Amino acid sequence: MGMGMGMGTAMRFGAMALVTVAFSACNQSNAAVTEPTTTVSASAGLAANAVIDDVIDGDTVDVIINGRTERIRLIGIDTPETKKRNSPIECFGPEASAYTELLLPVGTPVYIERDIVNRDDYGRLLGYVYRADDGIFVNYELMRQGFAQPMSIPPNEAFAELFADAARAAEADNAGIWAACSG
């Protein structure tokens, strides 16, 4: 299956509804960080279109698509830097990278949904990443658990409001970067 917007658009509305329900129905402050809670409905027919090849840092992964390696920058989120040239490792950066590795171990089948702009200025494919096996929305999960902050760059803003809500909830729960890096 290609990486067009057809199935992804339908999934977006289902994912937003399910995430919103999970978000409002659960008090995340007691949830274990290792237990992601957001899913896309199994009936959405989520089919993998890539496989994780490497985790570069908290918001960047390498995947294999049709036998070719592509670098994916997760849209709408920004994790603390760990590998930016001529920059120090930022507070909670190693933890964000480790959580992304936990969510997306090498070999994990994923579904990548694109938004309006397909690539960034560095040539990376821009995407919303879902684990194909259980539908976990990785971009959201990183935000909700406090490993990322919102980064909205128009016109790729399909989930900007959802991510902002997740960040506010993580901050209210004093999760992740909100506890570790507030000073």
Out of 12, 73, 114, 131, the active site residue is 73
pLDDT tens digits along 100-144: 999 999 999 999 999 999 999 999 999 999 999 999 999 999 999
Predicted pLDDT at 115: 97
Torsion sign (Cα): 31, 33, 39, 45: negative
**Average pLDDT along the chain:** 82
Out of 12, 114, 124, 144, the active site residue is 124
Other Cβ atoms within 10 Å of 163 Cβ, number: 24
The better pLDDT of the pair 103, 9 is held by: 103
* Nearest to 20, CA basis, from 42, 36, 37: 37
Predicted pLDDT at 37: 58
Q: Which two tokens stand for residue 12?
A: 């977006």
What's the rounded mean pLDDT across residues 78-88? 88
Is 0.75 surpassed by the pTM of this model? Answer: yes
Predicted pLDDT at 27: 37
Q: Which two tokens stand for residue 144?
A: 């909700």
Check: CB of residue 107 under 8 Å from CB of residue 97. no
Check: CB of residue 152 under 8 Å from CB of residue 160. yes
pLDDT tens digits along 21-46: 343 333 333 334 555 655 443 335 58
- Domain 5-177: assigned CATH number: 2.40.50.90
User: Per-residue pLDDT for 6 more than 90?
Assistant: no
Predicted pLDDT at 182: 74
Residue 68 falls in the annotated catalytic set: no
Other Cβ atoms within 10 Å of 139 Cβ, number: 23
pLDDT tens digits along 153-183: 999 999 999 999 999 999 999 999 999 997 5
Residue 85 falls in the annotated catalytic set: no
Check: CB of residue 148 under 8 Å from CB of residue 96. yes
The better pLDDT of the pair 14, 72 is held by: 72
Distance of CA 170 to the CA centre of its chain: 15
Percentage of the chain with pLDDT > 70?
75
Out of 12, 70, 81, 113, the active site residue is 81
Listed by start position, the domains of the chain span: 5-177
The better pLDDT of the pair 58, 16 is held by: 58
Rounded CA gap, 175 and 21, in Å? 20
